[in-house]
Amino acid sequence: PAQASAASKSLAAAVPLAVGLGTCCLKGEESMQQVAAGLAAGYRLVDTASHYGNEGEVAKALKQSGVARGDVKLVTKIWYDDMGDRAAEAIRGSLARLDTDYVDLLLMHFPGSINSLQDPETNGRL
């Protein structure tokens, strides 16, 4: 097997493998309850997305849990329609809804769905 690149080693150190709590399809109060229960059970990785429509509830549950933000790996995703020129605004929106100034991992839902994502110059601005 090929050796891991420096970038992949860096990513592995930054976001260690962990069992996480996914929030797809959770809405409103149910979303807050499930995230709160997961955090109480010891989950320290929470996955959400702008498209799920529950980033605000995830933020509330995290704040109410008493678990320090720095102790939770927070993952979110931006939707493919928000790629390219709209990515920065979409990321700022997610950060605002999550009531945080950073996420530990930002993913793109369905990368490659639009041509602008494949353009290196556009990617450099993301």
**40-73 per-position pLDDT tens digit:** 999 999 999 999 999 999 999 999 999 999 999 9
102 is catalytic: no
Q: Higher pLDDT residue, 7 or 88?
A: 88
Given the residues 43, 52, 80, 102, the one annotated as active site: 52
Question: Beta partners for 76?
Answer: 106
Q: How far apart are CA 119 and CA 27, in angstroms?
A: 35
**Nearest by Cα to 99 from 73, 60, 68:** 60
- What tokens were used for 93? 């929106």
Question: Rounded to the nearest 10 degrees, how much is the dihedral formed by the CA atoms of 15, 124, 117, 9?
Answer: -30
**Nearest by Cα to 106 from 19, 26, 11, 28:** 11
The pTM (predicted TM-score) of the whole model is: 0.76
Residue 7 class from Cβ within 10 Å (0-12 exposed, 13-18 middle, 19+ buried)? Answer: exposed
**95-117 per-position pLDDT tens digit:** 999 999 999 999 987 665 555 55
